[in-house]
Amino acid sequence: MNSGDYSQLRSRSVDSIRQAIRRNEYRGHTAGLAPGFLQANVVILPESYALDFMRYCQRNPKPCPLVGVSETGDPILRTLGAEIDIRTDVPSYCVYREGELSETLPDIKALWSDDMVAFALGCSFTFENALIEAGIPIWHIDNDRTVPMYRSGIMTVAAGGFGGEMVVTMRAIDAERVDDASRISRRFPLAHGGPVHIGDPLAIGIADLQLPDWGDVPPPVGNQVPVFWACGVTPQQALMHARLPVSISHQPGRMLITDIDEQAEVPILQDASKLSIRDAMSSKA
């Protein structure tokens, strides 16, 4: 199976898709796969940087909405699924050394070590699905392209060595639906929330919408309004900014697929064993 087998995966269950990815049978993008399940951006780094990275996420919740954090050295993301192994369950990984992309890999079994911490961060698929359900068309989905992404002039709030510019995505929306798109996306704080900017690209330092830094070139916006959301590529830029000896992310668009309902208020696997009813009477005695 290769990236061309995407269409075949679309009808498979989340477990089956994850198995195919784990066996390195599929290394392509995950948009549209396992509909209804939360997908996540991934960051992996040594524990000595983990506290500063969590501070960075807390201070920049729109680009970096944390949905899961592993124990140090434990590759299993226990709150996001029954058996998600972060070493193998992402279609393709980017490895950064001293702030530069050094390689892409189908798994990171050889790189994972006892001092690593894995982070999962929410992605835009969740709110895009909600926009489509509300009858707001999304160009890049209707045309099987990748959303255009831009390095903006909005600076993130730094923490430790993590910082730099916010990466944003752009979706052109009919003027009369912009308020709806804002309101709907704001309902999903774990999927980047509401827009960070509406209208003139230059106001956030973007000179030409036809020159995205990542993703596909969109058609001219015409009479539509360009609406900008924080993008999950921002933490990858922050990783490079921090120039860690080694860090790892997913390859953009090739996300971790979790077992969590993408509409869940809290992205934590509900485990029946967590509800242990005490003998309330005796504890009051």
Q: Which is nearer to a copy of itself, 175 or 281 (CB)?
A: 281
- Among positions 28, 148, 194, 218, the unique one binding a copy of itself when judged by CB under 8 A: 194
Residue matched to tokens 């064993």 = 273
At residue 197, the 3 state secondary structure works out as strand
- Among positions 42, 64, 69, 136, the unique one binding a copy of itself when judged by CB under 8 A: 69
CB 237 to a copy of itself: min, Å: 13
**283 touches a copy of itself by CB under 8 A:** yes
Taking Cα atoms as reference points, which of 51, 61, 59 lies closest to residue 117? 51
Contacts of 107 (CB under 8 A, 6+ apart): 24, 87, 88, 93
CB 58 to a copy of itself: min, Å: 5
- The Cα–Cα gap between 200 and 74 comes to 45
CB 102 to a copy of itself: min, Å: 24
**76 touches a copy of itself by CB under 8 A:** no
CB 70 to a copy of itself: min, Å: 9
- The Cα–Cα gap between 152 and 171 comes to 15
The total of other beta-carbon atoms located within 10 Å of residue 188's CB is 20
- The distance in angstroms from the start CA to the end CA of the chain is 63
Extract the tokens encoding 34.
């396992």
**73 touches a copy of itself by CB under 8 A:** no
- The Cα–Cα gap between 70 and 117 comes to 6
Taking Cα atoms as reference points, which of 261, 231, 257, 233 lies closest to residue 91? 257
Extract the tokens encoding 49.
């940087």
Contacts of 277 (CB under 8 A, 6+ apart): none
Rounded to 10°, the helix 50-59/234-242 angle is 140
- Among positions 82, 134, 202, 217, the unique one binding a copy of itself when judged by CB under 8 A: 202
Piece in contact with a copy of itself (CB under 8 A), picked from 25-33, 141-149, 239-247, 268-276: 268-276
Contacts of 208 (CB under 8 A, 6+ apart): 201
Piece in contact with a copy of itself (CB under 8 A), picked from 58-66, 89-97, 171-179, 247-255: 58-66
Amino acid at 81: G
Q: Which is nearer to a copy of itself, 132 or 157 (CB)?
A: 157
* Interface mask toward a copy of itself for 109-128; x: CB under 8 A: --------x-----------
- Among positions 14, 54, 198, 225, the unique one binding a copy of itself when judged by CB under 8 A: 54
**157 touches a copy of itself by CB under 8 A:** yes
At residue 90, the 3 state secondary structure works out as coil
**241 touches a copy of itself by CB under 8 A:** no
**58 touches a copy of itself by CB under 8 A:** yes
- Among positions 6, 15, 59, 101, the unique one binding a copy of itself when judged by CB under 8 A: 59
Residue ranges binding a copy of itself (CB under 8 A): 47, 50-51, 54-55, 58-62, 66, 68-69, 71-72, 79, 117, 151, 153-157, 159, 165, 186-187, 189, 193-194, 202-208, 211, 265-266, 268, 274-278, 280-281, 283-284
